[in-house]
Amino acid sequence: MSKLALSDEILMTVEKPARYIGNEVNAIIKDKEKVDVRFCMCFPDVYEIGMSHLGIQILYDMFNRYEDTWCERVYSPWVDLDKIMREKNIPLFALESQDPVIDFDFLGITLQYEMCYTNILQVLDLAGIPLEAKERTWEHPVVIGGGPCSYNPEPIAPFFDLFYIGEGETRYRELLDLYKKCRQQNASREYFLQEAGKLPGIYAPGFYEVTYHEDGTICAMTPTVEGMPTTIHKEIVTDFNQTDIYPEKPIVPYIKVTQDRAVLEVQRGCIRGCRFCQAGQLYRPVREKSLEFLKERAMTLLKHTGHEELTLSSLSTSDYSRLPELIDFLIEECDKKHINISLPSLRIDAFSLNVMSKVQDIRKSSLTFAPEAGSQRMRNVINKGLTEEVILHGAKLAFEGGWTRVKLYFMLGLPGETPEDIKGIGELCDKIAMVFFDTVPKDKRVNGKVQIVASTSFFVPKPFTPFQWAPQNTKQEFLDKAYLCKKGIMEQHNQKSIKYNWHEADVSVMEGVLARGDRRIAPVIRLAYERGCIYDAWGEYYKNDVWMQCF
């Protein structure tokens, strides 16, 4: 490995220097003189969040299987190093080679969350790359975005050369080959971007003209170059059992990250169809990995990482058709090796509770339900497919199994919501508490009571969901609803057993603007960044007053 980009003196002054030194277990080092394409993969948030993202691990592994390509990584420097890099004019660098990001052929930025948009500008700025695509030349990397927010890329369109719409495993080889061909033929950057925009799933925003109606809504988006598609169709992986598109040796960090475990993706997509859920819509259709593949890859992942925990990843793990057989295999194998199994996204039913009681210390953990709405009427509106009877029966089974702490997730501000629906949240919590007292004898109650934690987030309408056109509540409406919800909980008989948390209203409103906005939002994002907004996804750094001034 080459010399570190940061001196020991700097590393000793920043929080968690291991974020910036690279050389982690399973990180891939190649000879840069022997590859044709250098690709820097970026997650525009702090290292611990970015390292927990499965999509980057999959693409990193895929790119590095290509002999002609070396893929490296970069994350947003934390605020302490950001300040030092600006003061000392240190260019942003990739972890593997420690080379400046500006020296790469591509900078691929994953777009997971709208509140990371100012961090994208932080990355470009620290790298010395012009913020707007129209100012770039071949001296700069091609900046390409992908991920769920790329389905409406318009608010950040001026900052990107290209967007990849859909799942990254399918078209990147064609894009890299086109790049190599254009560079060998000394083609212009503009020509490359035009040709790239004709590939399936690739959107080149610089070659589309937007016209508006008198009321400000979009009239049309018209290609300015012949051959460009008027509609971009998302890319999906059809053969989900290809063994070469799932990593065998994921990178293992030196420091604790958010998802500090081996991750096994069992399926992609979700059969549920909740009307507010963007991921459930974007990742359709449902595709499963074969049981044989998952058994083999689970053991390979644990062998090559040394992780002591394995988690099954999907939007709805309970819906994986071979789950009982997979669980039996994993329990047997992981028990021998003293490895813990984590099972998120399970329904609360007899099978799931039986499984969870086998794989975790039930006395120490809490169970999570996501009713999303307090009333059955509202759950039907959002197509949740979960009845009160099922929720209460699941709670009864859980309490019989020894659980004493339950987390409940709800949403406020849903289309068609009434005060009765909001009060229903407290009533449902109270009914669950009553189930506990009816089910668990006094002498078996830990600390004498049940703990119910009710959390409400605020509804944010997202593109490509059935609710994409629904009006979003104002900040004051959100806060009024949170107050009504809290009041409803305080009126319940078992209120002392119920704790209530709610999300930041300012951030939810801003997320809605960035999720559904168009190109006219881009100057606001740039101005907010120039006035010091970064890490907006982190409550302590979000500056709502600055954003409002920028608007």
Paired tokens of 55: 């999509």
Q: State mean pLDDT over 169-181.
A: 97
> Alpha carbon 384 to chain centroid distance?
21
Contacts of residue 380, defined as CB under 8 A and 6 or more positions apart, other chains included, come to none
* DSSP state letter for 284: P
Q: Which residue has the higher pLDDT, 172 or 271?
A: 172
Where is average pLDDT lowest: 76-80, 240-244, 492-496, 507-511? 240-244
Q: Which of 466, 533, 526 is nearest to 506 (CA)?
A: 533
Question: Exposed, middle or buried by CB within 10 Å (0-12, 13-18, 19+), for 67?
Answer: exposed
Q: Give me the numbers of helices (H) and strands (E) for the chain, helices first please.
A: 18, 17
The model's pLDDT over 387-404, given as tens digits with 9 standing for 90+, comes to 999 999 989 988 888 888
Residue 6 half-sphere exposure, CB side, CA atoms within 13 Å? Answer: 22
The model's pLDDT over 290-325, given as tens digits with 9 standing for 90+, comes to 999 999 999 999 999 999 999 999 999 889 999 999
**Torsion region of 464: left, alpha or beta (phi above 0 gives left; psi -120 to 50 gives alpha):** left
**3-state SS, residue 310:** strand
Could you tell me the pLDDT band of residue 110, with boundaries at 50, 70 and 90?
very high
The model's pLDDT over 190-239, given as tens digits with 9 standing for 90+, comes to 999 999 999 999 999 999 999 999 999 999 999 999 999 999 999 999 98
Q: What is the 3-state secondary structure (H, E, C) of 133-179?
A: HHHCCCCCCEEEEECHHHHCCHHHHHHCCEEECECCCCCHHHHHHHH
- The DSSP bridge pattern shows strands 340-342 and 367-372 to be unpaired
Paired tokens of 324: 């009982």
Cβ atoms of 281 and 464 closer than 8 Å: yes
The model's pLDDT over 414-469, given as tens digits with 9 standing for 90+, comes to 999 999 999 999 999 999 999 999 999 988 887 778 999 999 999 999 999 999 99
Could you give the domains of the chain? 8-223 (3.40.50.280), 261-360 (3.30.750.210), 365-517 (3.30.750.200)
Give first-to-last CA distance, the chain, whole Å. Answer: 46
Cα 172–174–175 angle (5° rounding)?
60
Q: Which of 34, 33, 29 is nearest to 64 (CA)?
A: 29
Torsion of CA 352, 387, 425, 453, to 10 degrees: 0
Q: What is the 3-state secondary structure (H, E, C) of 23-39?
A: CCECCCCCCHHHCCEEE
Could you tell me the pLDDT band of residue 243, with boundaries at 50, 70 and 90?
low
Q: Is the pLDDT of residue 362 over 60?
A: no
Query: What proportions of the chain, in percent to the nearest 5, are helix, strand and coil?
Result: 45, 15, 40
Q: Which of 525, 417, 544 is nearest to 478 (CA)?
A: 417
The model's pLDDT over 3-53, given as tens digits with 9 standing for 90+, comes to 999 999 999 999 999 999 999 999 999 999 999 999 999 999 999 999 999
Q: Is the pLDDT of residue 173 over 60?
A: yes
Alpha carbon distance 99, 79 (integer Å): 21
Q: Which residues pair with 222 in a beta bridge?
A: 209
Residue 72 half-sphere exposure, CB side, CA atoms within 13 Å? Answer: 30
Paired tokens of 325: 């057989």
Q: Which of 145, 142, 116 is nearest to 44 (CA)?
A: 116
The model's pLDDT over 5-14, given as tens digits with 9 standing for 90+, comes to 999 999 999 9
Paired tokens of 8: 């020991």
Q: Is the pLDDT of residue 242 over 80?
A: no
Q: Is the pLDDT of residue 472 over 80?
A: yes
Alpha carbon distance 96, 48 (integer Å): 16
pTM: 0.96
Q: Which of 73, 39, 45, 78 is nearest to 57 (CA)?
A: 73
Alpha carbon distance 264, 300 (integer Å): 11
Q: State mean pLDDT over 141-155.
A: 98
**3-state SS, residue 478:** helix
Where is average pLDDT lowest: 209-213, 292-296, 332-336, 516-520? 332-336
